[in-house]
Structure 1
Amino acid sequence: MTPGPSAPLGRALRARGLRLTPQRERVLAVVRRLGHATPDDVLAALRAEGGTPAVDTSTVYRALALLEELGLVARTPLDRRADSFHPVEHGGHLHLVCDGCGAVAEAPARAAGDLAADVLRRTGFAADVTHLALRGRCAACRTTTPEPPERP
């Protein structure tokens, strides 16, 4: 019999002396299904699907923090209000976040390879660009809306 999708979660929790709870399983399942989700997105999806046990806001936040600590999800600041969580297996790309319309596009992580190499060469710091968010303006917004004034 092959292990189910929560097998890595169960093993990681048991290794730390913690229990595999239905709430933790449900939160991880929603993050995997959505790909990228804020805590509010996770909570809304859990409420929409119903089921038991019910999961409240604080449980979602605690579960996401624990899943991140266990290395099963990662956090990326896609939205200025709340971080987005994604399964670690969904890494390896850049997020291009438009400040004009809010669209989020993806680009291969290798697109930031020159940047990472330059940072390493100049500072000795090895940057992890496998799941990075870059803010700016998409092509459509750049052609329809004038650029905001430069910041000092």
Structure 2
Amino acid sequence: MASSSDKGSGLDVTAKAAHERRRATPIGKSQLTNVVPLVKPFLLAVVEAFAHAYGVDPVGQVLAALADPTRRQILERVRGRPLSVGDIAKTVSVSRPAVSQHLRVLQEAGLLRCHKNGRQNFYGVDLGGLTALRSYIEGFWDDVLGAFQAAAVEEAERKRRH
């Protein structure tokens, strides 16, 4: 039976339970591929608003974080699935405290996300920083394609005149 707080929401208890189950279900890679184009403008707006409000350059943070080869190596390691700090430390040639510092930099740049499972911290890829970087690079790509199109049109007109 629905409680009094459920009556005004327009959802019965069964629908609410189904909604909660959908929210708790992890997103698969194929579903994520379909969702990213839909949420990309929203994510970019959030990142830009945050950067503006706090004077932070998210693309600069991402580029600075990726400038270090050890951090790039860590990001590659967790690309397939989240790993514990211990598992990450086994794959790089720096001390455990240095690994923790690299993880902090990657997390602050929006490249890694941390979640706890018991006493262990697991790190996986966070799309926020990668989305900001991709948008930045795509801006250049649009310029390059525009310049290429203009050059192709100019070349075609020149050939037509001769």
TM-score exceeds 0.5: no
| TM-score, normalization by structure 1 | 0.39
**Higher Rg:** 2
**If the length of structure 2 is used for normalisation, what is the TM-score?**
0.37
Where relative contact order (Cα < 8 A, 6+ residues apart) is larger, the structure is 2
More strand by share: 1
Task: Answer 1 or 2: which has greater helix percent.
Answer: 2
